[in-house]
A and B are shown apart, each in its own frame.
Chain A
Amino acid sequence: MTKAYDMSVALRDAIDGINRHPCLEVQSVEERDSGEVHVVVKACIPLPSRCQAGISGTGVKSEELVRMVFRKGYPDEGPEFYLRSDFPTDLPHIYPHKNGDPVPPCIFQGSVNDLLHTEGLAAVLDQLVSWLERAASGLLMNLQQGWEPVRRRFQNVAIEFDPVELVKSLPNDGSLLRYSARFWTVGEQTHLRIDSSPTQPDVFTQERLTLREGKSGTQGTTQVLILSAPSQQGERPIFEKYQAEVAYDLPSLNATLEALGCPKDTLNSQLASFCTQSNLAVQTSKAQWPWDGDFFVGVILAARRPVSLIGTERDIELIPYVVRVKKRTTAPNIEGAEVLPALNLQPVGPSLLTRTSGIPETATERKLVFLGCGSLGSKVSLHLARSGFGKQTIIDHETLLPHNLARHAAVDLQFAYKAYQQLAMLGSLGHTKASALTTDILPLLRDKALGSEVLNTDPCLVIDTTASPQVESALVISPTLEHESPRLVRAMMFNKGQLALVLLEGTGRTPRCDDLLAQIFEACRHDAELRHAMGGDSIDLHDIVIGENCRSVTMQMPDSRVSQCAADVAQLLEGWVSGGIPSEGKISYGIRHADGLTTTWRQVSEDAVEVLHSSGEERWTVRISSSTSKLIREDSAQHQTVETGGALVGHVDLLNHTIVITGTLEAPADSTRSPTKFNLGTMGLMKKVRDVMSDSLGYLHIAGTWHSHPMGGSHSEVDLQTLKEMAEEVPGMPFVSLVVTPDSVLCTVHSA
C-alpha cells in the first residue's frame, strides 16, 4: 500500500540532486507504510561501443531502473539501492539476496553513510552510476588485480578463522573437514571462532550470558563444516563463474554447493546428524527445544578460482555461512534452518597486526629481547606487539605489585610476574612465538654459558628498559654480549619524563652503551636546554607509599607521560628494524616542552671509539670518543714543532675499570709550549673543572691530561712524575695521561 508522499526537506533536496545528475532521472516517489520512501530512478548508462540493441555483453541495459530506498533515518542513514530482480548476478560487488528479489549492488567499498556525510549525495550517485558503467563493461572485477571474494552486506554474522591456515588443511577428496568452534551471540550479532586445530568436535552446547543494561546473549561450542569439490586427476577443479550470494536457506545453499561442485549430501547429512546428536545429548523431553537460544553451525565452502583472490596469493576462496535453526517450542530440526551469509574475520595474530601497522613482515618477524618489563618496557613491548612484532622474549624477575598498575601496560595481577603478565597480553594478541623468563638478568649478562642462548640466538635487538644501574654495569662488560651479538638498545627516562633517551650501540659494540651515556652528559655541558630537561630542578626519585608499612622509590609521573615516551621509543625501534639498523651508534633524545604537548627529538650519530689499554696500571681501559680522538690529533698536527696538550674530560667507572673520555678542556692561556715540553697552565682551570662537573650534572669530571710528542716517543719520566702528582690530588680516582705521537696515542693510568 503506497501513498503520495509529502517530502521532507532532506528528501526534497535528495530528489532535486538526483534530477540534477546528468545520468539520472526520478521516475516516481512512493512512501511506504513503514515510513520508507522509495524513489525509482532511471539511470542512462553508456555501454561499451560494440554493444548492440541497448544491452551490454554482461546484460546491463543502457537504461536501468534503480529503486533508491530512503529509510526514516535519512540523512543519518544513507539510501539503499536495488536493481531489477532479473539483473545479472554473475557479477562481483553485489550483496547477498534471494534469487528473484531485487538485486542490491554494493556501490561503494566503504560506508555509503560516511560518503554521504563527507562528499554529499552527488558522490553517492556518482558511485551508483560508476558501478552500473563498470557492470556494463565487465570491469567490476579486474582479474589482473585478482578475484573479488563474494560480497557480504552485514557485519553481524561472522566466523573467525585464518584462511591461509584453513586452506592448508583442506582435503583433496571432497570429504568434510570438521572443526570445533566457540560462539557467542548478543542481540543480532553471531560470532563463531574456529579452534586453532581441527579436533573431533563435541556436540552443540549453549549457556546464557547475562550482560548489563538488561542485555543478554548466549555462548557455547559448535562445529564449523568445511567442504570443497573433490580433485580431478590430482587437480582441484577451477570455478570461473562468478555468482553473487543468493543462499538464504538449505535448498538455496544446496544450489550453491552444486555450482561449486561440493558433495551436498555429505553436508546435509552431517548437519542433520550434528543437530540430532546435540539434541540427544541434552534433551529432557523429545518434544522440547533443549537450549537457551538458537542452534548454530558454521559452514565454509571452498572453491578454487582462476586467479588469486585480490590482495592474496591464494586462489582458493572460502565462502562462510552460519546455518541457524531459530529457537522454538518444539524439538530442533535442521530442515527449516536459515542460512546466513557470514563474514570471515581473521583472528588477531602477527599477520593481521602486521597488515594493520603497515610494517613489512620481514621486519615484524625479527626477534627482540626485552631486558626488564617495567612501565616503559611493557609499553614499548606492547606497542611493538600490536605492530606485529611477536617474536619477543621478555626477561624480568620481578612480580607485579598493585602500585605497578599505575603505569605498567598490565591491567591486572593475574600472572604474578611482570614477564608472565606481558606474555599473556602478547598471547591474547595471537603471538604464540613470544616467550618470558623470570630469571634475574644479571647472571645472564655475566655468565656467557647461561645467557648466550637467550641473548645471542637470532634477536636483532636487545632492548634494556630496566633503568637499573646494576644492569647498566653488567651490560658494559658482559661476556654474553659478544661483538657479533645483536645490537643493544637502552631506553630510559629522566626527570619525571622531561627527557627520554634511547641509546643504540654501534656494530661490534663500539661505541658501547657506556660511551653513549657519557656522551649525552658531554652534550649537556654545551646545551643548557638538554641539561635542564635531564636534570630539572628537583630530584627524580620519590618515596611513594604503596602500603601501610611500605614505600617504593620511584619516579613520580603520570602514566600518560610514560606512554608518550614509550610510543616514541617504539616508533624509533620499528623504524630501525624495518628500515635497517644504522651501523654507527645513535643517541636519540626527546625533550618535553613546557606546553606539555610537544616533545622534540634529536638524534646524534657516534662513530666507533678508540680503545686504549693502560701501560701503567694495567687493569684500566680508556675509551676515547671519536670526536676527542680526532680533536687531539688535529691539535697536535697544528703544533708541528712544539708539544701541545690540554685536560681530558670523562667518566670513570670504578667497578668496571673503564674510563670514558668524552671531550677536552682547552689548555689555559698561561700554558707553555716548547719543542721538548708542554706545561699545562692553571689560569681559570679550576673554574672550568667545576663547570665540567656542574654542566654535566655531576657525571663528568677531569679525568686526565693529554700532550703531544711531535718527535714521537712514549711517556717521559717527567710525564709520569706529573701524572703521579696529579693523581694524588684526587685520591682513589684514576688519572689518565695520553701522549699523542705522529703515529699513535699512548696511554697510561695512575691512581693514588
Chain B
Amino acid sequence: MPATITFFPVDCGDMTLVRLANRDETSILVDINIRCAADDPNDSTRDVAKDLRALLKYDYRNRPYVDAFVLTHPDQDHIRGLQSHFYLGDLKDYPDDNKAKSDKRIVIREMWSSPMVYRRADSTHVLCDDAKAFNKEAKRRVAVNKAMNFSGVQDGDRILVLGEDENGKTDALGPILVKVDSTISRINGVNQSSYCTARLLAPFSKQEKAEDEALLSKNNSSVILNVQLASDSLNPDGCRLLLGGDAEVGIWDLLWKKHGSNQNVLEYDVLLAPHHCSWHSLSSDSWSDLREKAQVNKNARSALAVARQGAWIVASSSAIKDDANDPPCIRAKREYESILSTRQGTFKCVGEYPSEKSPEPLTLNVAKDGVQIASNSAASSSWGALAGTGATPRPHGQA
C-alpha cells in the first residue's frame, strides 16, 4: 500500500489520518471530530467513525488501533468523540474484546499531546469532556513513563508531549518531551525515519510569543507539524504535509519571522489550511466587519505560501460560501487559491468533495513526486457503494 493522507468530512473541525508506506502501515491520526449525528444511523451525516475504522488495522488481539494519535489543541472540534470511540486507560483493562468488531474502542498506542494538558482550566481555557478525558489519559501515561524511568514503556502507555509549557511544567519529561524545531521519526517506539519525519514548528514557548497574552489562547497553542512522508523506502521525500491546527495569524507571522530565511521548513505539498480556512490565520482584521477592506498579514501569508509545484491546500470545513462567514472564509480561500496559482496547485474543501450534498473522505496517495488524488470511480456510484455493503461472497468450485 502506498502512504496515504485521508481527510474526513467533519464539517468545521479536523480529522486527518496518515498511513505510512512501511510494511506495518503505521497510522497517525491527527485530531478527531466525530459528531453525534455521524454516529446516528438514522442521520445522513457521514459516518466518519466507520470510515476511519475501515482504514485501521487490528492487532493480534483483534483490537483496532492507531499507532499515534495527535491532538493539536484541546478544542471540541478537534477531540469530539474521543470517549465514545477510543479506549482510554490501562490496556490490561481493555473491556471490548467480546464486542462486535465495529463496537470495539480504538486503542491509541502512542499519544502525541499538546503541552496544554498541564494548563489549568480558566475562563480562557475551557475544556469539553472529551478534552478533559484526553488530559486525564495523557497525565496517566506521563506518570507511567516517569515511574518506568522512560524505559520499557509498552503500547497504550506511550506518549510524546509536543512543545514545552510555561513555568517549567514540562521540564521533567525527559525523552518524551519534543522541543520545537526538533523532529520526530520514532513512532510508537519504532524508528520510521525511512518513511516519516515530522518537524515540530509550534507551539512556541511563552518567551517566543513575546509575552503576548493573546497568543496564549488554545488556538495559538496549537501544534504545527510539517510531516515528510516517503512514497517508499527509496524515496523519503514523497510529500510534505503541513498541519497547521488552529494557529492564527500571530503564530504564522512569528513563524515567518523565524524561518523566512530558511523557508525549507515551511515548504509543503499539502497544507491543511489552518483553522478550517479561517481568515484569522491570514489577517488580524475581521472579515465579517471589514469584508474586502480587511488586510492580509504579509508575513503570515508568506509563511503559508511556501508551496511546492502542484501543491494542495485542503480546507477541513463545511462548504465555503461567498458570505460573511468565518471560518470557513471565502476570502481565505481566495488567498490560498492565489498562492496556488503560481504553483499550478489545487484547493479542495473536504465539505465539498466530491459534492457538498454528499461529502466523502478525501484520500491522497503519496507518490515519489508529490501526492496524487485517487480518481473518482464509476463503481463507487453503484448500488453496492450506496448501501455500504462489502463484497458479495463468491462461490468457488474450481481448484
Evaluate contact between B370 and A51: CB separation under 8 angstroms.
Answer: yes
8 contacts between A and B (CB under 8 A): A23-B376, A49-B312, A49-B370, A52-B310, A57-B369, A126-B377, A130-B374, A139-B2
Residue of B23, B310, B311, B378 contacting most chain A CB atoms (<10 Å): B378
Evaluate contact between B310 and A144: CB separation under 8 angstroms.
Answer: no
Judged by a CB distance under 8 angstroms, whether B375 is at the interface is: yes
Evaluate contact between B232 and A144: CB separation under 8 angstroms.
Answer: yes
User: Interface readout for A273-311 with B: 1 if CB under 8 Å, 0 if not?
Assistant: 000000000000000000000000000000000000000
Given A126-B379, A137-B2, decide whether A48 and B394 contact each other with a Cβ distance below 8 A.
no
Q: Give Cα distance in the complex from A48 to B235, angstroms.
A: 14
Residues of A with C-beta under 8 A to B269: 49-50
Judged by a CB distance under 8 angstroms, whether B325 is at the interface is: no
**Who on chain B is nearest to A45 by CB?**
B375
**A72-109 contacts to B (CB < 8 Å):** none
Evaluate contact between A142 and B379: CB separation under 8 angstroms.
Answer: no
Q: Give Cα distance in the complex from A607 to B265, angstroms.
A: 68
- The one of B21, B365, B368 that contacts A144, using a Cβ cutoff of 8 Å: B21
What's the least CB distance linking A91 to chain B, in Å?
13
Judged by a CB distance under 8 angstroms, whether A22 is at the interface is: yes
Residues of A with C-beta under 8 A to B83: none
Residue of B21, B374, B377, B380 contacting most chain A CB atoms (<10 Å): B377
What's the least CB distance linking B355 to chain A, in Å?
12
**Who on chain A is nearest to B384 by CB?**
A119
Q: B interface vs A, CB < 8 Å?
A: 1-2, 21-23, 231-234, 239, 269-270, 308-312, 344-346, 365, 367-382, 392, 394
Residues of A with C-beta under 8 A to B367: 48, 56, 136-139
Residues of A with C-beta under 8 A to B308: 49-50
Given A48-B370, A57-B369, A118-B392, decide whether A17 and B378 contact each other with a Cβ distance below 8 A.
yes
Residues of B with C-beta under 8 A to A139: 2, 231, 365, 367
Q: Give Cα distance in the complex from A45 to B382, angstroms.
A: 21
- The one of A49, A50, A142 that contacts B21, using a Cβ cutoff of 8 Å: A142
- The one of B270, B309, B346, B378 that contacts A122, using a Cβ cutoff of 8 Å: B378
Q: Give Cα distance in the complex from A139 to B346, angstroms.
A: 22
Evaluate contact between A143 and B234: CB separation under 8 angstroms.
Answer: yes
Closest 10 pairs (CB-CB, A-B): A49-B370, A137-B367, A49-B310, A50-B370, A48-B367, A122-B378, A22-B376, A48-B370, A126-B377, A21-B378
**Who on chain A is nearest to B1 by CB?**
A142
Residues of A with C-beta under 8 A to B392: 118
**Who on chain B is nearest to A240 by CB?**
B234
What's the least CB distance linking A350 to chain B, in Å?
18
- The one of B21, B371, B379 that contacts A48, using a Cβ cutoff of 8 Å: B371
- The one of A52, A123, A138 that contacts B368, using a Cβ cutoff of 8 Å: A138
Residues of B with C-beta under 8 A to A126: 377-380
Residues of A with C-beta under 8 A to B239: 49
Residues of A with C-beta under 8 A to B22: 144
What's the least CB distance linking B39 to chain A, in Å?
30
Evaluate contact between A20 and B369: CB separation under 8 angstroms.
Answer: no
Judged by a CB distance under 8 angstroms, whether A225 is at the interface is: no
Residues of B with C-beta under 8 A to A47: 372
Residues of A with C-beta under 8 A to B231: 137-139
Judged by a CB distance under 8 angstroms, whether A402 is at the interface is: no
Q: Give Cα distance in the complex from A183 to B2, angstroms.
A: 42
Q: Give Cα distance in the complex from A52 to B344, angstroms.
A: 9
Residues of A with C-beta under 8 A to B21: 142, 144
Q: Give Cα distance in the complex from A51 to B309, angstroms.
A: 8
What's the least CB distance linking B35 to chain A, in Å?
29
What's the least CB distance linking B216 to chain A, in Å?
36
Residues of A with C-beta under 8 A to B234: 143
Residues of B with C-beta under 8 A to A20: 378
Evaluate contact between B365 and A49: CB separation under 8 angstroms.
Answer: no
What's the least CB distance linking A238 to chain B, in Å?
13
Judged by a CB distance under 8 angstroms, whether A505 is at the interface is: no
Evaluate contact between A144 and B375: CB separation under 8 angstroms.
Answer: no
Judged by a CB distance under 8 angstroms, whether A499 is at the interface is: no
User: Interface readout for A209-220 with B: 1 if CB under 8 Å, 0 if not?
Assistant: 000000000000
Residues of A with C-beta under 8 A to B312: 49
Judged by a CB distance under 8 angstroms, whether A120 is at the interface is: yes
- The one of B233, B309, B380 that contacts A50, using a Cβ cutoff of 8 Å: B309
- The one of B23, B270, B369, B378 that contacts A145, using a Cβ cutoff of 8 Å: B23
**A159-177 contacts to B (CB < 8 Å):** none
Given A22-B378, A52-B309, A144-B232, decide whether A46 and B369 contact each other with a Cβ distance below 8 A.
no
Judged by a CB distance under 8 angstroms, whether A125 is at the interface is: yes
Residues of B with C-beta under 8 A to A17: 378
Given A49-B310, A122-B379, A123-B379, decide whether A143 and B232 contact each other with a Cβ distance below 8 A.
yes
Judged by a CB distance under 8 angstroms, whether A643 is at the interface is: no
**Who on chain B is nearest to A126 by CB?**
B377
Judged by a CB distance under 8 angstroms, whether A31 is at the interface is: no
User: Interface readout for A12-51 with B: 1 if CB under 8 Å, 0 if not?
Assistant: 0000010011110000000000000000000011111111
What's the least CB distance linking B226 to chain A, in Å?
16
Evaluate contact between B378 and A137: CB separation under 8 angstroms.
Answer: no
Residue of A50, A57, A143, A145 contacting most chain B CB atoms (<10 Å): A50
Evaluate contact between A137 and B382: CB separation under 8 angstroms.
Answer: no
**Who on chain A is nearest to B270 by CB?**
A49
Residues of B with C-beta under 8 A to A120: 379, 382
Q: Give Cα distance in the complex from A44 to B311, angstroms.
A: 19
Residues of B with C-beta under 8 A to A133: 365, 372, 374-375
Residues of B with C-beta under 8 A to A48: 310, 367-372
Judged by a CB distance under 8 angstroms, whether A455 is at the interface is: no
Q: Give Cα distance in the complex from A22 to B382, angstroms.
A: 13
What's the least CB distance linking A298 to chain B, in Å?
24
Q: Give Cα distance in the complex from A22 to B377, angstroms.
A: 7
Q: Give Cα distance in the complex from A138 to B23, angstroms.
A: 17
Evaluate contact between B365 and A137: CB separation under 8 angstroms.
Answer: yes
**Who on chain B is nearest to A145 by CB?**
B23
What's the least CB distance linking A66 to chain B, in Å?
14
Evaluate contact between B23 and A144: CB separation under 8 angstroms.
Answer: yes
**Who on chain B is nearest to A137 by CB?**
B367
What's the least CB distance linking B59 to chain A, in Å?
20
Judged by a CB distance under 8 angstroms, whether A129 is at the interface is: yes
What's the least CB distance linking B126 to chain A, in Å?
39
- The one of B233, B310, B394 that contacts A51, using a Cβ cutoff of 8 Å: B310
**Who on chain A is nearest to B354 by CB?**
A22
Evaluate contact between B377 and A129: CB separation under 8 angstroms.
Answer: yes
Evaluate contact between B372 and A57: CB separation under 8 angstroms.
Answer: no
